[in-house]
Each structure stands twice: as C-alpha cells, then as structure tokens.
Amino acid sequence: MKKTEYPAIGETLYTAVLPNGLPVYVVTKPGYRRSFAVYAANYGGADRRFTLAGEQKDTPAGVAHYLEHKMFDTPDGDALMKLSATGANPNAFTSEAMTAYHFECTGHFEENLRTLLSFVSVPYFTQASVDKEQGIIAQEIRMYEDAPDFVVYTNLMKCLFEHSPLRDSVAGTVESIREITPQVLYDCHKVFYHPSNMALCVVGDVDPEAVERIAREILTPEEAEIPGRDYGPAESAEPLERLCEARMEVSEPVFIIGGKLGAMAAGEEALRERITAGLALRCLCGRSSPFYLKNYDKGLLNATFGSDVDYAAGQGVVCFEGETSADPHDVFDALCAEIGRVSAEGFDPALFDRQKKASLGGRIRALGNFRSLAIGIVEGCFAGFQPLEAFRLMEEITCDDAAAWVREKLVPERLALSVIYPKEA
C-alpha cells in the first residue's frame, strides 16, 4: 500500500486500489484500542435514473434506503446480531449521495471486517421479507412527515428545484416504495454495490496490509462498469418558488433559508470550495459574527440558528436554519441585508483570521473522531479529493476569497424561505 505522511497534523494514510477498482484507505492510530471501519457505496437517494451499457434505467424513489434496510438480512440470520455478538457497534445510513455500512469495535477487528464486507457484498431478499419491510419503512416515512424539521427542509427543496431528485425524500414515499420488488433490489445491488463503485476506509491501530488482504479475499476480483447518473435537466440559478409556508405542532416558527450553489466542482477544487464556503459562513453568520450577535440581542435569532452547505446530485445547496420567536421574514430580510453589506464591503480581516484559526482547531479536534474521519474520507473519494489535504489548502484561502464566495454564491434574489408556523388555536 502507498504510505502518505501528514507531519503537520501527525497522521499517516495508507492507500491502495484493488484490481476490482475498490479504493482502500487506512488511517493508522497507534496505541488506540478502538477501530472504525466503513464500507460505502457511491449510491444514494438521488441516484434513481442511471445508464448502464447504453441503456437507461428508472427506479422508484426510496430504493437506496430500502436496500440499506434489507442488506443486514443473510441466509445465516441478521448481520447486525453477528457483529454485536463480538462487541462491535454496527450501523448504516443512506443520504442523497451515498449508502454506508460501518462498525466500531475494541476487539475482533479482522473478524468484524470480514463480516462487514461479506454481508454487504451478497444480497439476500425474499418476497416475504421485502413485503414485511415495506410496512416498516412506510411507518418510518409517516414519522418523518410528522417531523417539522423534515417537512421544512423538504418544502425548501421543492421551492429550490424543479427537476432534481433532491426534491424528494431519501426514503421515498409510501406510494413509491410499493413499486419496490426483490428484483429491483437485486438489480440495483448488482449495479451500485460492486467494489468498483464503493470505497473502504478503516481508522485505528490496525495493520493496513491485513485490511487490503481481507478485502482481496472477500470481494470479487473483477471490475465492473460504473453507471452514469442522470439527475434531470439543468436547473436555473433562480428558485422555482421563493416561499413555502405550512402549519404544524410547533411552539415557535421553524425556518430554513436556502439557495442553490450551482454545479459541484470536481477534484481538489471541490475541497477548496467546501473549505471556502465553511469559512465564509463562519464569518457571515457564525456564533461570533456581528450578524449573529446583533440579531440574537434583537430576538430574531437564538441558539438553534446555524448554517451549512451540502453537495449531492451534482448540486450544491446552502441552508440557514433555526427557530425564532419573531417573524421569519424579518430573519430573511436581515440575512439578505448582511449578504449585501459583505458583498460590498468584504469581511473584517481580523474576524476572518479568528474564524480561520477556529476552523483549523475544529478540524484538528475532528481527527480524533474516527467515524467522522473515515466517512469524510469516503465522501472525498467519491468527489475526487482527499480531506486530509484540507489543512494545506486552508492556508491558501484568503479573506477576499471568502467574501467573493458570498458575493457570487449568496445572491439574495436566488434565496428561498421555508417556514413552519405553529397551528392556530
């Protein structure tokens, strides 16, 4: 395996690409008892239409999430129980962009890694088990639909996008999952769960060569065609609608202000954009920003307020969210005014320097979070960059870069507002 040292942060990364196309990453942590492993597919809720061997395929909303639920079933029983029996803590998740299966353990690491790679690689579905899961997932979907945070976000996506699958929930709808059959699950597993479309990352005091050897032993040696993704026609920079309002059982209005950031960058430029966006948002509306402090004192914002950027389905999205005892439209107007001010005047260099140091400190602390580190590495793999390079790139990003990101990406006329108001008495 190739060894790369990062002396500035005290990390060592081992990498390899197997003959079947699987990228393998190992971050060694000498002296630690616990280890974390994640085996992830470059396949999420947004990957519903794809092309393989020149043929276009369409699948119902929710297949990736449904597949995640069913992959723990094996002819020998529940893989979750098998991992738990060794003291491991296993789990999985599906996002718009990826599906990941992972475990953390303090012993039996190689045994657990073999189990992980085996059950994710070999699907086992029956009509009875798929039918049973349909009821479980339908109940989960109904729970989401009763959650204000879920509804306010979904409504925002419908405001922003006209065609993108980001308009729809990762779990699908009660109606769409009725179309999912064992054959649909087998077909999607064959296309997206091949090692050529996956990544393996391990963090811990483990032998990198042993990780590579086990992956070679368990997984198919053959490469496969990578499916082409189709996320629909190109979206305009403008939102489809600028406002969506609803009422639910909440004590105070819940809001999200969001906008499209345009097409995702690729490779190291994608990492640079993420770092720049993070620094810009810290300066624009972070807890120590003038905007946050002023509007906290005025009662427009409270401790629930936050901001983030996300990238999936070829798109970037920025969100500003929270609860307020005031009118969410006033928060929207205040944020737009601050964006206009920063676009004209830029950021205070002293503020930028403080936020840059705080961001650097946060990234260094995050190296001790094995889960975050491993999942970040596989996300970076799928986007074509190495997250550990962030420490080098951060030094190159300037105050002017952060202000330019606000000026170019956060055009007030391109923002939309989604609000959940309390139900009227």
Q: How far apart (Å, rounded) are the C-alpha atoms in residues 37 and 1?
A: 17
Decide if 68 is catalytic: yes
Contacts of 103 (CB under 8 A, 6+ apart): 36, 37, 83, 88, 89, 90, 91, 112, 116
Backbone angles phi, psi at 412, to 5 degrees: -55, -35
Of 68, 96, 104, 338, which is the active-site residue? 68
- pLDDT given at position 425: 55
Amino acid at 178: R
- Cα separation, 42 vs 3, whole angstroms: 24
- pLDDT score recorded for residue 52: 85
**pLDDT one digit per residue (tens) for the chain, 425 residues:** 999 999 999 999 999 999 999 999 999 999 999 999 999 999 999 999 999 888 899 999 999 999 999 999 988 889 999 999 999 999 999 999 999 999 999 999 999 999 999 999 999 988 998 999 999 999 999 999 999 999 999 999 999 999 999 999 999 999 999 999 999 999 999 999 999 999 999 999 999 999 999 999 999 999 999 999 999 999 999 999 999 999 999 999 999 999 999 998 999 999 999 999 999 999 999 999 999 999 999 999 999 999 999 999 999 999 999 999 999 999 999 999 999 999 999 999 999 999 999 999 999 999 999 999 999 999 999 999 999 999 999 999 999 999 999 999 999 999 999 999 999 85
Residue 308: beta bridge partners? Answer: 319
Dist CA 243 CA 417 (whole Å): 5
pTM exceeding the 0.85 threshold for the entire prediction: yes
- Rg of the chain over Cα atoms, rounded to whole angstroms, equals 22
Cα angle 375, 47, 160 (rounded to 5 degrees) comes to: 95
